[in-house]
């Protein structure tokens, strides 16, 4: 039996009734009603970790592959630095900054 068919059967079971493991029904969205919206923002759960990331790039000029090309990518981003800050909302000792530098080769 294909895994797609098994997945479709599990979805059908979840849509049609209660799970035997708990007392709540699983209601999956339909094709027409697929957007998730939150109404009571005061009831939301806090996120323990937030990651802020930044990439620094150099723009390298590129040449066209074809002489008669009307459009081509004339620049290419080359990453030379990645930095990210992990912020822990519960314990500030777990928050820290990380960075990576990449050696740039001249073209």
Query: Per the domain annotation, does 61 fall within a domain?
Result: yes
From CA 40, how far away is CA 49, in angstroms rounded?
Answer: 22
Q: Look at the chain and report how many structural domains it folds into.
A: 1
Whether the CA torsion 54, 56, 59, 60 is positive or negative: it is: negative
- What pTM, to 2 d.p., does this model score? 0.43
Q: What is the pLDDT of residues 63-88, one digit of tens each?
A: 777 666 677 777 888 888 888 999 98
Query: Per the domain annotation, does 92 fall within a domain?
Result: yes
From CA 97, how far away is CA 53, in angstroms rounded?
Answer: 10
Q: Which class for 85: exposed (0-12), middle (13-18), buried (19 or more C-beta within 10 A)?
A: middle
Query: Per the domain annotation, does 107 fall within a domain?
Result: no
pLDDT band at 18 (very low <50, low <70, confident <90, very high): very low
Please give the residue range of the domain that contains residue 88: 3-65+72-101
Query: Per the domain annotation, does 22 fall within a domain?
Result: yes
User: 16 pairs with which residues across the strands?
Assistant: none
Query: Per the domain annotation, does 106 fall within a domain?
Result: no
């Amino acid at each position: 039996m294909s895994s797609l068919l098994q997945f479709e059967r599990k979805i059908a079971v979840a849509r049609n009734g209660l799970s035997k493991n708990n007392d709540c029904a699983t209601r999956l969205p339909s094709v027409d009603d697929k957007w998730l919206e939150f109404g009571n923002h005061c009831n939301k759960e806090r996120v323990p970790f937030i990651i802020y990331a930044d990439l620094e790039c150099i723009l390298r000029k590129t040449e066209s592959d074809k002489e008669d090309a009307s459009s081509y990518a004339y620049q290419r981003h080359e990453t030379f630095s990645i930095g990210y800050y992990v912020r822990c909302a519960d314990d500030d000792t777990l928050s820290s900054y990380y960075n990576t530098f990449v050696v740039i080769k001249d073209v």
